[in-house]
């Protein structure tokens, strides 16, 4: 009887641990996907068997999707590696809040006051976050590379699953991509892209350089991606390897004490 109870206790203790590991796998895919099973083993310190078991479960539950990974540069023979990205259901599993209520409220605001009121609200909301990040970046300096790294670290700490990755140009590194694997207002931004626009403008002011939004979770991409020009290849937190983007950046003055709201 004691042995059975002890075995049952050990089994019950393993369930939370197993769920915690599953959550770590999902979070890591959200942060840096697409990721292969091998990369996940290395990142999380788990065995190949354990990783594949969790990947199979997450895929069966519709929380992740498979994508082909083709290396940048020269084409290689053989089948491309299979990577994993988080699905829309996976994002929903990571997110919390009252998305439906917020969306209904914004629809009411747009109909009662006008569409410009939604943009003003989005700018006001982002300005509050921008002010906090500006204070953290005040001692970083004017180099966009260093500011982007600090911003990614701050975003990651706040649950945006943010990272940076280098981008190769024609003669070397053209800049980097600031990636966000999670967005707390993704559902709302799907119907109201003003939130994405306001955030992009805030990033430009915080980094002191004109940035370009390449992809968004709200649009159905697996990660929000913002191109930051004029930086070197080394950045942190680091993400997967370089990709290629052709762009012509324009320098602007960084903001350290943003005013209330922002202009579109």
Contact 64, 87 (CB under 8 A): yes
Query: CATH assignment of 2-94?
Result: 1.10.10.10
State residue 126's pLDDT score: 92
Quote the radius of gyration of the chain (alpha carbons, Å): 21
- pLDDT score recorded for residue 7: 41
Rounded Cα distance between 240 and 177, Å, is 10
Domain boundaries, the chain: 2-94, 129-244
pLDDT in tens, 215-264: 999 998 889 999 998 744 333 444 444 443 433 433 333 444 444 443 33
Q: Which of 78-92, 99-113, 192-206, 236-250 has the lowest mean pLDDT?
A: 236-250
- Kindly give the pairing relationship between strand 243-244 and strand 162-169: parallel
129-139 pLDDT, tens per residue? 899 899 989 98
Average pLDDT, the chain: 77
CA distance 130 to 125: 9
Res 210 pLDDT > 90: yes
CA separation (Å) from 54 to 19, 37, 50, 57, 93? 9, 10, 6, 5, 15
Average pLDDT for 206-213: 94
In sequence order, which residues have a C-beta less than 8 Å from that of residue 106 and are 6 or more positions away? 118, 121, 188, 191, 192
Is the C-alpha dihedral spanning 118, 189, 223, 30 positive or negative?
positive
Which residue from 206, 214, 205, 203 is spatially nearest to 244, judged by alpha carbons? 214
Q: Residue 39: which residues within 8 A CB-CB, separation 6 or more?
A: 83, 240
pTM across the whole model: 0.56
Across the range 56-84, mean pLDDT stands at 79
DSSP conformation class of 65: E
pLDDT at 77: 64
Q: Three-state DSSP class for 242?
A: coil
- Residue 205 pLDDT > 90, yes or no? yes
CB contact at 8 A, 186 and 117:
no
Q: What is the side-by-side strand order in the sheet with 162-169? A: 212-215, 224-229, 172-180, 162-169, 243-244
The answer on pLDDT for 206 being more than 90 is yes
The pLDDT tens digits of the residues spanning 193-204 come to: 999 999 999 999
164 and 226 Cβ atoms separated by less than 8 Å: no
pLDDT tens-digit readout, 143-164: 888 899 999 999 988 878 899 8
- pLDDT score for 243: 42
Residues in CB range of 169: below 8 A, 6 or more apart: 175, 244, 245, 246
Count CA atoms closer than 13 A to 123's CA, side-chain side.
15
**Helix 37-44 with 2-32: angle, nearest 10 deg:** 110
Cα–Cα distance, 36 to 85 (Å, whole number): 9
Give SS3 for 240. coil
- The answer to whether the beta carbons of residues 44 and 26 sit under 8 Å apart is no
């Amino acid at each position: 009887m004691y042995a059975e109870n002890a075995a049952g206790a050990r089994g019950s203790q393993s369930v939370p641990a197993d769920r915690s590991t599953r959550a770590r796998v999902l979070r890591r895919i959200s942060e840096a996907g697409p990721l292969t099973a091998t990369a996940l083993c290395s990142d999380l310190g788990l065995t190949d068997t354990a990783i594949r078991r969790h990947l199979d479960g997450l895929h069966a539950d519709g929380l992740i999707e498979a994508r082909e990974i083709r290396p940048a540069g020269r084409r290689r023979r053989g089948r491309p590696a299979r990577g994993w990205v988080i699905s829309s259901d996976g994002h929903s599993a990571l997110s919390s809040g009252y998305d439906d209520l917020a969306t209904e409220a914004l629809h009411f605001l747009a109909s009662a006051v006008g569409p410009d009121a939604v943009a003003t609200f989005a700018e006001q909301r982002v300005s509050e976050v921008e002010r906090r990040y500006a204070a953290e970046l005040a001692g970083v300096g004017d180099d966009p590379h260093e500011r982007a790294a600090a911003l990614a670290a701050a975003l990651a700490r706040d649950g945006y699953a943010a990272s940076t990755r280098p981008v190769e140009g024609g003669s070397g590194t053209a800049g980097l991509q600031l990636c966000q694997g999670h967005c707390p207002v993704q559902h709302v931004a799907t119907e109201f892209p003003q939130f994405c626009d306001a955030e992009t403008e805030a990033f430009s002011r915080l980094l002191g350089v004109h940035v370009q939004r390449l992809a968004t979770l709200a649009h159905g991409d697996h990660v929000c991606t913002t191109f930051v020009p004029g930086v070197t290849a080394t950045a942190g937190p680091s993400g997967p390897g370089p990709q290629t983007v052709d762009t012509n950046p324009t320098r602007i003055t960084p903001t350290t004490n943003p005013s209330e709201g922002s202009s579109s």
